[in-house]
Structure 1
Amino acid sequence: MALTFGKLCAIAAFTVGSVAAKSSCVSVRSDGEPAGEFKNVSGIQVYHSYPVASNYTSSSTAILYISDIFGVPLLENKLLADSIASANYPVIMPDLFRGDAVPAEFAEKGLNLTEWLTRHPTSDIDSIIASTLEYMHSELGVERVGAVGYCFGGKYVPRFMAHGKGIDVGFIAHPSRLEVAEIQAIRGPISIAAGELDASFNATARRNAEDILSRKNATYQTSLYSGAPHGFAVRVNASIPREKFAKEASFVQAVTWFDAWLL
């Protein structure tokens, strides 16, 4: 695999068994205008991003994007969804917070995150994700669902990888509030990207997750990125080489994981 900043070429001839990689060269976008569109789905604004191939019509596989607390308004989230779509996967990202995402400059505004979390309990997020999965299956014709979860969303990918919950293959980066029972319930391949400087998913949490997955004989992958803070897979200081690398390499980690296990 050749890795360069701005454009990461994943495997020209990558196979797992008899399954060839779907994406030979992918790039992660960090600036510019979003390419997707919003649609109202049962009262929820849902961002849709599609592969750019001129002959693309529909797909039996798609990616559910479960965002961080900054949600669909954050430019980086939309561009990351577009980047995944450029690897030939339709991407669906619902507004988990019904217009109440945390603003990117929340620290300057003095937002109380504890109070904000009470407005968005797990049951509400579960309901939105479940309805989005139903939409993907019934309206979009998706048969197998991969999912990415970042920070806040890193808790919900494992929750919906439990038996019969709807996610077949998962990737999570720097998850927050992820519980042991949620890891234990995972069914299907899971890839985890962790940051060395992330207090929310620290060395103890990483070790516990690996131990649980190993005991389950799960198909899993964990990657640890040096110098990477919480949030590195979405928002980084691009002037710091280790942070920039961590974002781009974790993107390739996700795409190659889906190429191997979602097809």
Structure 2
Amino acid sequence: MADSEVSSNATKAPESDAAEDVPKDTSPSLVPGDTPAQAGASLGEHCVTDRPTPSGLGSSGEITPLGGIDTYISKPTDYPHAPSKLLLLLTAATGLHSVNNQIQADSYAKEGFLVVMPDMFAGDPLPGSATYTEEKDPSIIEQVKMRAAETAKSFLIDLWLARNTPQKALPIVHKVLAAAKDEYADAVANGGGVYSVGYCFGGSITLLLAGEKPDTVAWGQQQPTDEEAGVSKKGPFIKAGAIAHPTSITREDFEGTKAPLAFICVENDQLFSEEIREYGEKYLKENNVESEFRTYSGVPHGFAVTGDYPDDASIQARQTEAFDQMLAWLKSH
């Protein structure tokens, strides 16, 4: 398709029925930029490696403990003298110390949001994710070395994914949310709740926060086996959210969604397959949850995160377009 496609529905959300329990989509990634080794790890190259930081840009916020968790905080320049809204930013595997992620947070702060970006990975970002390197036309020897490095990297990604799951990240996010609601109660009140944006891994967490879930699931534990045991439900924990090219989302993750959500999708993205996307779009529509899905073509998974694409200006333009879409969605809710 030449241009991005948009579909949306806007209605009030009632109680919803449970979605069928389907295992996670474990299809190998065929996203442009992924190597076969990385593809098998269910994370794309642009999820786990920073693009070059755009020339002249740097971060302006600060890292400080919030709820006992290291958190990058970026505030509007006129805060607290002018009202702001609280925005939770949840990153890809590159994590808290990625300058690109910090610049992404600053971009929302410039638009009037007080942004908190927690270290969801508890000091354990993906190994080797801090910088982006690219060698053009390598020699045969270098190609062999690169393939060996890719295999090793794939192994590290597998280990990292085993350690860092939504079940581990959710309790960390809830700690930060509780502390932020106390520390920045004025921003929460001004926005009528907490907003959230999520990229890649962070997108799956934003989706979970947007739902009313059994208490155990909402806090990162397993789905209860006895539905007749009087399990209480909690959530949603956010007022509205925007999600860019999420990873590892299952059908059951949409269950109980109540908060309005916008999705930035990538064409032919095996990390957020067309089957899962179509299921989510149908589920939200049938359950009268306000939503918007836009598919971008000619871009890699991870394109919406701040980063330079010197060899393809069109990707940079779509990156700006995606940010504008997410910002407009937040501001309209």
TM-score, normalised relative to structure 2: 0.65
User: Within the alignment, does 1:157 sit opposite 2:206 as a pair?
Assistant: yes
Aligned-pair CA distance for 1:42: 3.5
The alpha-carbon distance between structure 1 residues 57 and 124, as it changes in their structure 2 partners (threshold 3 A), is: farther
8 Å Cα contact 2:66/2:180 also seen in 1: no
Match of 2:255 in 1: 184
The number of aligned residues is: 233
Match of 2:291 in 1: 220
Aligned-pair CA distance for 1:36: 0.4
Greater Rg, structure 1 or structure 2?
2
Deviations 1:60-95 (A, max 9, x none): 621100110111121111101000111111110001
Match of 1:126 in 2: 170
Superposition pairs for residues 93-108 of structure 1, below 5 Å? 93-102=117-126, 103-104=128-129, 108=149
1:148 aligns to what SS in structure 2?
strand
Q: Name the one with the larger strand percent.
A: 1
Q: Which amino acid letter does the alignment assign opposite residue 319 of structure 2?
A: K
Provide the C-alpha distance between the structure 2 equivalents of 1:85 and 1:115, rounded to a whole number of angstroms. 34
2:116 aligns to what SS in structure 1?
strand
Match of 1:254 in 2: 326
Aligned-pair CA distance for 1:58: 6.6
Percent of aligned positions that are identical: 28
8 Å Cα contact 2:197/2:242 also seen in 1: yes
Question: Which shifted more, 98-107 or 113-122?
Answer: 98-107
8 Å Cα contact 1:198/1:228 also seen in 2: no
Provide the C-alpha distance between the structure 1 equivalents of 2:298 and 2:261, rounded to a whole number of angstroms. 23
Match of 1:50 in 2: 75
Provide the C-alpha distance between the structure 1 equivalents of 2:124 and 2:174, rounded to a whole number of angstroms. 19
Query: Runs of 5+ in structure 2 lacking a partner?
Result: 1-52, 133-145, 213-234
Match of 1:117 in 2: 161
The alpha-carbon distance between structure 1 residues 181 and 60, as it changes in their structure 2 partners (threshold 3 A), is: farther
- The counterpart of 2:101, out of the listed 42, 65, 77, is 77
Deviations 1:193-237 (A, max 9, x none): 001142211322221211111111211111111111110111452
Match of 1:241 in 2: 313
8 Å Cα contact 1:52/1:86 also seen in 2: yes
Name the structure, 1 or 2, with higher relative contact order (CA <8 Å, separation 6+). Answer: 2
User: Within the alignment, does 1:92 sit opposite 2:116 as a pair?
Assistant: yes
The alpha-carbon distance between structure 1 residues 90 and 197, as it changes in their structure 2 partners (threshold 3 A), is: same
8 Å Cα contact 1:30/1:80 also seen in 2: no
Q: Which amino acid letter does the alignment assign opposite residue 195 of structure 2?
A: G
User: Within the alignment, does 1:147 sit opposite 2:196 as a pair?
Assistant: yes
Aligned-pair CA distance for 1:146: 0.6
Provide the C-alpha distance between the structure 1 equivalents of 2:178 and 2:54, rounded to a whole number of angstroms. 30
Provide the C-alpha distance between the structure 2 equivalents of 1:175 and 1:185, rounded to a whole number of angstroms. 18
User: Within the alignment, does 1:175 sit opposite 2:246 as a pair?
Assistant: yes
Provide the C-alpha distance between the structure 1 equivalents of 2:277 and 2:263, rounded to a whole number of angstroms. 9
2:270 aligns to what SS in structure 1?
coil
Deviations 1:83-131 (A, max 9, x none): 0111111110001112211132598573321111122232220101111
